[in-house]
Amino acid sequence: MKLVILDRDGVINYDSPHFIKSPDEWKPIPGSLEAIALLNQSGFRVALATNQSGIGRGLFDMATLNAIHDKMYRALGQFGGRIDALFYCPHSAEANCSCRKPKSGMIEDIARRFAIDLKTVYSVGDSLRDLQASAALGAQSILVLTGKGTKTLEEGSLPEGTWVCADLSEAVQRIIAHDNS
């Protein structure tokens, strides 16, 4: 089985410093939905691993998060794409949980769910914490320059071997090319 783990905000959809708190605020980055569909068509399963501390902060509730994800699923379906599993951390940073990236609890859960060795997995994010959570477990980390990506690149300290791509479309092209080599 082939698996790609994606962060959500800043990778699939535009991010906001004020959180994505409603379906109306969720807007896909151009080309991101088509890129996920291309992964699916190329035989990859896709898992989402997203910190959603807005729940823990009381900015939105589970029904709203589900409505945001329903909008994402419907939009993705228009391109023939799908998300095979969605994992999220609802906790604020102060909760010090094991699932909030940069800790790797969510990534470990994904590995268990798919019974996969993470050394064969690609993980795409726009922040250092996304990359750290996956790279610590051996996944191939990929930084996209959308969302917080450009700032993350400028700040440096990327995990060794991290690929840098303009956006999810470029990352998917590189993943598919690497898989076929």
Residues 26-84: tens digit of each pLDDT: 999 999 999 999 999 999 999 999 999 999 899 999 999 999 999 999 999 999 999 99
| CATH fold group of domain 2-179 | Rossmann fold (3.40.50)
Nearest by Cα to 127 from 6, 10, 13: 10
Site of tokens 């997995």: 121
**Is the confidence at residue 103, as pLDDT, over 90?**
yes
**Is the confidence at residue 93, as pLDDT, over 90?**
no
* Residues with catalytic roles: 7, 9
140-167 pLDDT, tens digit each = 999 999 999 999 999 989 999 999 999 9
In this prediction, residue 92 carries a pLDDT of 87
In this prediction, residue 69 carries a pLDDT of 97
- Flag whether the pTM goes above 0.85: yes
In this prediction, residue 35 carries a pLDDT of 98
Indicate the domain borders of the chain: 2-179
Cα 88 off chain centre by: 10
Rounded Cα distance between 167 and 170, Å, is: 6
Kindly provide the b/e burial profile for residues 95-133, where b requires at least 16 CB atoms within 10 angstroms of the residue's own CB. Answer: eeeebbbebbbbbbbbbeebebebeebbbbbbbbbbbbb
In this prediction, residue 94 carries a pLDDT of 86
pLDDT bracket for residue 11 (50, 70, 90)? very high
